[in-house]
Amino acid sequence: MDIEDIKKLANMARIDMEENEMAEIAKSFGSILSYVGQVQEVSDVAGNELSHDLVENHRLHNVMREDFATNKTGEYTERIMKEAPAIENGFIKVKQIL
Amino acid sequence: MIDLRTLTIKKAHEHLKNGDFTVTDLVNAYLSVIKEKNEEINAYLEIYSDVFDQVKIAEEMFKNGTATIMTGIPVAIKDNMLFLSHIASASSHILENYTATYDSFVVKQLKNEGMVILGRTNMDEFAMGSSTETSAYGNTKNPLDLSRVPGGSSGGSVAALAMDGALVSLGSDTGGSIRQPAAFCGLVGIKPTYGAVSRFGIISMGSSLDQVGTFGKNVEDAELLYNTINGYDEHDSTSVKIEDRSKPEPLKRKIGVPRSFLSGEGIDKEIIKNFEENCKKLEKAGYEIIDISLPLIKYSLAVYYIISPAEVSSNLARYDGIRYGLHSEADKLYDVYAKSRGKGFGKEVRRRILLGTYILSYGYYDAYYNKAIKVRNAIKQELTKAFMSVDAIITPTSPFMPFKFGEKLEDPVGMYLSDLFSVPANIADIPAISIPSGKNNEGLPFGLHIMAPLFREDILFTIGKDFEKQV
C-alpha cells in the first residue's frame, strides 16, 4: 500500500491529513493487513463446516414497532438544536451543495 | 473516617441503613480522595456539579423507605455514556463540548436505584486502544504503579476504583476494554453477553461487539452493579428479551483449558506460570480442569481487526461537523467535513477509520470482511460445541503485564495483541470476567479470564467467587 492509496481512503473517509501521517499509516497498514490476512487461510475450511443449528445467529431477527411518535412534538428540539454549530430560523445551517 | 479500601456495596448499605454514616459522608469521603489523587492519576475528566443533588435524592429514598441495596452507592461512568445535560466526549476533541440530549439506558438504571454518579472517566478515544494513551485529554496512570498504563480502553473507570475514587464503575468492552484494564489494576471486570445490557445512549464503536459492563473490587460488587444495568430495552434492537435468554442450570463443575492457544508467541512466561497455579486453585475448589481443543479461537484477533474497523468507519461517519460536535469553517461542504474530522479525530481513530474504509471498499470487501464473518461464525460454533462438555473456558486475561507509557504506542499490532485472550468473547457474543489472581514480585497484578455460554453470567459469578476464596 502506498501513499496514493492512503490519500484516496482519506478522501473517501472525509479526513484531512498531513502527508507524513499518511506515510506512517501506509507503513502500519502493511503489518496490520498481513496480520488480519490470516482469516483468508482458514475461512474456506471454517465456512464449510458451519452448521446453522449451532451458530446462534438465529437469535437475530428484525425488530419492528408500530409507526407512531414516541415523544411530544418539540420535546427534544431545543436540546438538539443547541448542539448544532450554526442555526438559522430554527434550521441547522449547511453549506450549499449544488 | 470511612475505610474505603475495604468497603463493599453490602457493607456500605448496612452502614447507610444503620445510620453509621450518611450518603453525604460517603460521597464526601470519595470526593476528598479524588481531590487528593486525581490530578496525578487523571482517572476522572470531570466531577459532575450536581453530585449533591443526586445525594439528596438518595437520602430521601432512605428516609421514605424506598432505598435499595444500590441507593447512595458512588459510581463512576465511562466518558462514552450519555447522561442528560452532562458532557459526554468519548475522550475525543470532536465531542469536547457535546452535551447529552438524553439519558442512556444504563444511566437511567443507575438513577432509578438512586446511585450517585460522581463523574465521567478517561478512556482511549472512542474506546480505540488498550492503554488509555489515545485519549485527547492526557494519560491515565495506573494507581498501582504510576509509571505504567492502567490498560484500556476503560482505563479511567478502573483507575477511579483502584485509587478509591469510587466504589464501583461502568466500562464498555468491544474487544477487552473492561477485562484487560481490570487485570492491569487488580480489579474484577465483567463483559456481559451481547444483548444483555442495552447499548442505547452509548457512543458506538463496533456495534456488533460493544457491550457495557461493570467493575468492582470483588465479584459480588461487580455482580450487584451488573444486576442493576442488566435488562431488556426496546430502544436497542439487539437487546434480548428476558424470556429468550438461557436459564441457569446446575454446573457440571468442569472447566476447559485451550492448551494450544496458550503456547503462542508473545505471551509472558510469568503469566503462564500464574495461570497454571490458578488451575490448581480451581481444582482445589472442586472443579475438574480439562484440556480442550479450540483450533479456530486463535483467529479471533484477526477477525476482530477486520470487523471492528469496518464498523468503526461506518459508525464514525456521523461526526460531520454540522449537526453537533466540533465544526471547522470552510467554503465548501466537503472541506467542512474533512477539516472538522481531520481536526476532531486523533491519530489512532483516523488510522482505524481508514483501515475500515479500505476493508469495506470494492474488491476488498470479499477478501476481508466476508471472510471474517465466516470465521466469526465458525468460532461461535467451535465455542458452542465446547460448552457442551464444560461450564466455562479459562485463559489468562492479558498476554503481558501492565506496560510503561509509550512502550507500545508506536507499534499498532503489538498494542492490538493486548486483546488476544479477551477478544474471542466479543467475537462469540459470550460473557466473560477477569478476576485478580495474585501479583508478581514487582507488585503488578495478574488476571484470570473466564468465559461462559450465552447469558450464563451466573457461571462466571459462581466460579469467580469460588476462585476468590482460594486467592
CA distance to partner chain A, nearest, from residue B73 (Å): 29
**Residue B47 phi/psi, 5° resolution?**
-100, 125
Q: Cβ of A79 under 8 Å from any chain B Cβ? A: yes
Q: Which residues of B touch A6 (CB under 8 A)?
A: 354
Q: Which of residues 29-68 of A touch B (CB under 8 A)?
A: 29, 31-32, 35-40, 42-43, 46-47, 49-51, 54-57, 59-60, 63, 65
Quote the pLDDT of residue B136. 98
DSSP string, B20-72: SS-HHHHHHHHHHHHHHHHHHH--EEEE-TTHHHHHHHHHHHHHTT---TTTT
pLDDT at B334: 95
pLDDT recorded at residue A59: 59
What is the distance between the alpha carbons of residues B135 and B346, in angstroms, rounded to a whole number? 8
User: Taking CB atoms and an 8 Å limit, are A56 and B429 in contact across chains?
Assistant: yes
Q: Which of B436, B30, B352, B13 is nearest to B174 (CA)?
A: B352
Cell numbers placing A72: 411530544
Q: What percent of chain B has pLDDT over 70?
A: 100
Is the pLDDT at B161 greater than 90? The verdict is: yes
- The pLDDT tens digits for B70-108 are 999 999 999 999 999 999 999 999 999 999 999 999 999
Tell me if residue B202 falls in helix, strand or coil: strand
Query: How high is the pLDDT of residue A57?
Result: 55
* CB–CB contact A25 B354 (8 Å): yes
**Chain B nearest CA to A68, separation (Å):** 14
Q: What is the ipTM of this complex?
A: 0.92
**Which among B120, B78, B84 has a CA at the least distance from the CA of B101?**
B84
CB contact under 8 A, B244 and A59: yes
Q: What's the pLDDT tens digit per position in B1-31?
A: 899 999 999 999 999 999 999 999 999 999 9
Check: CB of residue B392 under 8 Å from CB of residue B459. Answer: yes
Closest-CA residue in chain A for B355? A29
Q: What is the pLDDT of residue A65?
A: 84
Local structure of residue B89 (DSSP, 8 states): -
Q: Is the peptide bond before B204 cis (omega within 30 degrees of 0)?
A: no
- Mean pLDDT over each residue of chain B, to the nearest integer: 97
CA of residue B4 relative to chain centroid, distance = 23
Q: Which of A9, A16, A96 is the mutation pick for testing B, counting most B CBs within 10 A? A: A16
A51:B381 CB<8 A = yes
Angle at B397 between CA B225 and CA B301, to 5 degrees: 110
DSSP state, residue B370 = I
Partner-chain residue, chosen from B296, B337, B367, that has the shortest CB–CB distance to A40: B367
Residues of B in contact with A65 (CB under 8 A): 234
Residue carrying the nine cell digits 486475561: B397
For residues B384-397, average pLDDT: 97
Strands B116-121 and B288-291: unpaired
Q: How far is B237 from chain A (nearest CA, A)?
A: 6
Cβ-nearest to A29 among B102, B237, B355: B355
Closest CA to B181 of B211, B207, B134, B149: B149
Locate B339 and state its grid cell.
Answer: 477539516
Give the position of cell 452507592. B73
Q: How far is B279 from chain A (nearest CA, A)?
A: 29
- Determine the distance in angstroms separating the CA of B378 from the nearest CA of chain A, rounded to an integer: 6
C-alpha neighbours within 13 Å on the C-beta side of residue B417: 17
Cα(B224)–Cα(A63) distance, rounded to whole angstroms? 30
Residue B266's pLDDT is 87
Looking at the predicted structure, is the pLDDT value of residue B60 above 60? yes
A35–B313 CB contact, under 8 Å = no
Measured in residues, chain A has a length of 98
Cβ distance B343 to A37 less than 8 Å, yes or no, reads no
* Active-site residue set of B: 78, 153, 177
Which of B75, B61, B49 lies closest to B22, judged by CA? Answer: B61
Q: What is the pLDDT of residue A60?
A: 66
Name the DSSP class of B172: E
**What single string gives the DSSP state of each residue in B383-444?**
HHHHTTT-SEEEEES-SSPPPBTTTTTT-HHHHHGGGTTTHHHHHTT--EEEEEEEE-TTSP
Closest CA–CA distance from residue A39 to any residue of chain B (Å):
6
Of B101, B299, B353, the CB nearest to A15: B353
Check residue A17 and give left, alpha or beta (phi > 0: left; psi -120 to 50: alpha). Answer: beta
Q: Which helix (H) or strand (E) holds B465?
A: helix B457-470
List the single residue in B101, B342, B380 with the smallest CB-CB distance to A15: B342
> Average pLDDT of B269-297?
97
The answer, yes or no, to whether residue B215 has pLDDT greater than 90, is yes
The residue of chain B nearest to residue A52, with distances taken between CA atoms, is B381
Please report residues of A whose CB lies closer than 8 A to that of B238. 60
Q: Give residues with Cβ within 8 angstroms of A9, minimum separation 6.
A: B354, B357, B358, B361
Q: Higher-confidence residue: B283 or A54?
A: B283
Supply the pLDDT for residue A54: 57
- The residues facing B188 across adjacent strands are B216
Cβ-based contacts of A96 with chain B (< 8 Å): 333
Of B203, B231, B282, B236, which Cα lies nearest the Cα of B113? B231
pTM of the model: 0.97
- Distance of alpha carbon B417 from alpha carbon B264, whole angstroms: 11
Write the pLDDT tens digit of every residue in B405-460. 999 988 888 899 999 999 999 999 999 999 999 999 999 999 999 999 999 999 99
Supply the pLDDT for residue B198: 98
Per the CB < 8 Å rule, is A38 touching B354? no
Instruction: Give the 3-state secondary structure of chain A.
Output: CCHHHHHHHHHHCCCCCCHHHHHHHHHHHHHHHHHHCHHHHHHHHHHHCCCCCCCHHHHCCCCCCCCCCCCCCCCCHHHHHHCCCCEECCEECCCCCC
Rounded Cα–Cα distance for residues B393 and B206 (Å): 24
Q: Which residues of A touch B320 (CB under 8 A)?
A: 14
pLDDT of the residue at B322: 95
B358 touches chain A (CB under 8 A): yes
d(C-alpha B411, C-alpha B434), whole Å: 25
Residues of chain A with Cβ-Cβ distance to B368 below 8 Å are: 36, 39
Q: Which of residues 195-254 of B touch A (CB under 8 A)?
A: 195, 234, 237-238, 240, 244
Q: How many angstroms away from the CA of B266 is the closest CA of chain A?
A: 14
Of B327, B331, B368, the CB nearest to A36: B368
B186/B217 Cα distance (integer angstroms) = 8
Sign of the dihedral defined by the CA atoms of residues B379, B383, B386, B388, in that order: negative
A16/B341 touch (CB, cutoff 8 Å), yes or no? yes
**What are the chain B neighbours of A12 within 8 Å (beta carbons)?**
357, 361
Which SS3 state, helix, strand or coil, does residue B288 take? strand
Q: What angle do CA A71, B76, B64 make, to 5 degrees?
A: 70
Q: Which of residues 307-326 of B touch A (CB under 8 A)?
A: 313, 320-325
Give the per-residue pLDDT at A52: 62
Given a cut of 70, whether residue B131 has pLDDT beyond it is yes
pLDDT at position A96 is 85
The amino acid present at A63, given as its one-letter code, is: V
pLDDT digits (tens, 9 = 90+) for B168-212: 999 999 999 999 999 999 999 999 999 999 999 999 999 999 999
**A6-62, pLDDT tens digit by residue?**
999 999 999 999 999 999 999 999 999 999 999 998 887 776 777 665 555 545 678
pLDDT value of position B10: 98
